[in-house]
Amino acid sequence: MPKTRKEKAEIVKEKAKKLGLDFCGISKAEFLSDEAKQLETWLSKGMHGKMQYMENHFDLRLDPTKLVPGAKSVISLMLNYFPQKKLEKKGNYKISKYAYGEDYHYVFKRKLKELITELREEFGEIGGRAFVDSAPVMERTWAQKSGLGWIGKNSLLINKKQGSFFFLGELITDLDLEPDGAIKDYCGTCTKCIDACPTDAIAQPYVIDSNKCISYLTIELKEEIPQEFNRKMENWIFGCDICQDVCPWNRFSKPHKNDEFHPSRELEEQIKQNWEEITEEIFKKVFKKSAVKRTKYKGFTRNIQFIKRKQ
């Protein structure tokens, strides 16, 4: 007897759970009409900074059937990266928690490929592609539509059970699955993320001005950091967790169970003086498999020197 859309959806979620993926939700693969207007406005105001790639493939970002012809479902998945202990110490330079261990693109993609393989063993030769920041996919929107959480005032997806320290990934597939409904926004009147941002990057609730975001300034920006951020970086040299650290929902965060995301001994032992004197050889050793390599040695040392000069 053929399985129903609901039964197939439950099988997908069970297989995702067994592979160590923390949450799984499903939405219908369709054009994102509301988000089209929001994205167009955000881009027209230049809030994407120097990230010109955000202007590319506008249609692909909004229509999953253009990425995967015949797509019927978007399977959204979440992978926890909240650490057992924070590395940031008073007075030391700081790196975003998501970059403590191995680059999540590779870890998460491996799990998604395993999931696709298992789904094909279960359902036959289905079409589908896995995405982890690897294509123009509006991952937070799809996660929200699939009921995994809501997009908070800091623009990040917040899960009611465990907060926001999660990587997001998707499988866009022609497998016809029963979708989950979206849940409501539970931010309420809280403005802690807005109030805590030292560079005022949250232009208005739910809207980020990338030009002012510490994560953008330390990772995406390839030019010199503007002087207006003098003494506002709060020692962040790769990424920033401020708006997540102050979010009340992150009191529910639980340590991840992925060995790949544990920091190396070399990273744990770095002190401020070591960061300021870091050589390219040490940089490559400490961040051998890390997302920090995105900045390259030149960008990383630029960040350190900018903060050091302004102290």
SS3 call for 195: helix
Specify whether 209 is catalytic: no
Tokens of 168: 């997001």
> What does DSSP say about strands 94-95 and 236-238: parallel, antiparallel, or unpaired?
parallel
What is the distance between the alpha carbons of residues 146 and 150, in angstroms, rounded to a whole number?
10
Residues forming a β-bridge with 28? 73
* Contact of 214 with 233, CB cutoff 8 Å: yes
* Contact of 242 with 198, CB cutoff 8 Å: yes
Which residue, 59, 156, 182, 47, is CA-closest to 98?
A: 156
Tokens of 280: 């390219």
Choice among 59, 103, 133, 174 that is catalytic: 133
Find tokens 């169970």 and name the residue. 257
What is the distance between the alpha carbons of residues 198 and 273, in angstroms, rounded to a whole number?
24
DSSP 8-state class, residue 82: -
Active-site positions read: 133
